[in-house]
């Protein structure tokens, strides 16, 4: 998931997601891409700390300092990504939309899933940031035309406008994928971590602080990696849920009832669907291997 934020302090430091007044918000991971799979918790605001920034969840939202979350964007990957068991983007977008019906700040954006070919993560970030920037500039133009209509109660209204920033929300195991040969381009990692930044949710069995220290590149940009340590660990696995569904087991209370009903109605997860793309390498591995060969 992609959280968009801005800093109320006006210091142009990195934020999470898209923010516009209000408190820092929690987020959800996205479905369909390594490190961004399955619905999940929480987005923080940036806060000081060593070995990456650390934030603490408070109830359904996260709060830790200088930033305000505007919105969270869940962006399902294109069908051409090539992951085994990846069901049609049409179903993934529909299920994500149902799961987020009650959210007042997270939305599903189908742009990435509608592309004819797989789109690199960094290009997805660029797209959504440019969209957020256009929206921000439009609002600033309107506000400048009607300055008297600005609410005096808005804590940001009396400050200089601060450009929104976009970060990538992921699980701690996502950092490990940077080590996978040919999965990522080094220049893409630099832009993702250095320009945009990461919000990294803790996961059992993963030590993001250690992964950061073991990588020269991640250590260089650790000021732009925000570590979120959840008070209550949520280790619900999308893989395990799909496995249970294929076996006819109940997943009630693990995912929303509306999503369960949709899955049953459209027979989404079956033994046949799990064989989709079986034996096929992921599209980024194919592309980057071919480029190295050339």
The least confident of 38-42, 63-67, 178-182, 217-221 is: 38-42
- The predicted pLDDT at position 30 comes to 35
List C-alpha distances in Å: 10 to 5, 155, 164, 195.
12, 12, 11, 18
- pTM as predicted: 0.77
The least confident of 28-42, 86-100, 242-256, 271-285 is: 28-42
- The predicted pLDDT at position 159 comes to 58
CA atoms within 13 A on the CB side of 290: 7
Name which of 133, 141, 150, 160 is nearest 9 in CA terms: 160
- The predicted pLDDT at position 83 comes to 92
- The predicted pLDDT at position 66 comes to 65
Write out pLDDT tens, residues 97-154: 999 999 999 999 999 999 999 999 999 999 999 999 999 888 888 877 776 555 544 5
Q: Which residues of 194-208 are buried (b: 16+ CB within 10 A; e: fewer)?
A: ebbbbbbbbbeebeb
Write out pLDDT tens, residues 32-87: 333 333 333 333 333 333 334 444 444 344 444 567 888 999 999 999 999 999 99
| Count of structural domains, the chain | 1
Name which of 135, 81, 85, 88 is nearest 107 in CA terms: 135
CA atoms within 13 A on the CB side of 231: 7
Cβ-contact 255, 39 below 8 angstroms: yes
- The predicted pLDDT at position 42 comes to 32
The 3 state secondary structure assigned to 63-122 is ECCCCEEEEEEECCCCHHHCCCCCCCHHHHHHHHHHHCCCCCCEEECCCHHHCCCCCCHH
Cβ-contact 159, 186 below 8 angstroms: no
- CATH at residue 207: 3.40.50.620
Q: How many residues in the chain?
A: 294
Q: 241 is in which domain, residue-wise?
A: 2-293
């Amino acid at each position: 998931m992609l959280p968009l934020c801005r800093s109320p302090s006006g210091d142009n430091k990195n934020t999470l997601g898209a923010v516009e007044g209000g408190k820092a918000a929690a987020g959800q991971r996205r479905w369909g891409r390594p490190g961004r799979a399955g619905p999940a918790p929480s987005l923080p605001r940036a806060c000081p700390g060593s070995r990456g920034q650390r934030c603490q969840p408070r109830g359904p939202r996260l709060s830790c300092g200088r930033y305000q979350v505007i919105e969270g964007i869940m962006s399902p990957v294109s069908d051409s990504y090539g992951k085994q068991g990846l069901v049609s983007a049409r179903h993934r977008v529909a299920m994500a939309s149902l799961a987020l019906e009650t959210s007042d700040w997270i939305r599903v954006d189908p742009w990435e899933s509608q592309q004819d070919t797989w789109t690199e993560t960094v290009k997805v970030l660029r797209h959504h940031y440019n969209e957020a920037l256009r929206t921000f500039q439009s609002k600033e133009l309107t506000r400048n035309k009607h300055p008297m209509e600005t609410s005096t109660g808005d804590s940001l209204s009396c400050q200089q406008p601060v450009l929104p920033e976009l970060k990538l929300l992921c699980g701690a195991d996502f950092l490990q994928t940077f080590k996978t040969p040919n999965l990522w381009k080094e220049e893409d990692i630099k832009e993702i971590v250095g320009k945009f930044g990461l919000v990294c949710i803790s996961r059992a069995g993963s030590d993001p602080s250690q992964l950061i220290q073991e990588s020269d590149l991640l250590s260089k940009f650790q000021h732009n990696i925000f570590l979120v340590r959840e008070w209550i660990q949520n280790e619900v696995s999308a893989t395990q849920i799909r496995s249970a569904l294929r076996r006819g087991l109940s997943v009630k209370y693990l995912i929303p009832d509306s999503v369960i009903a949709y899955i049953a109605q459209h027979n989404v997860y079956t033994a046949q669907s799990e064989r989709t793309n079986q034996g096929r390498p992921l599209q980024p591995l194919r592309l980057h291997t071919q480029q190295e060969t050339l």
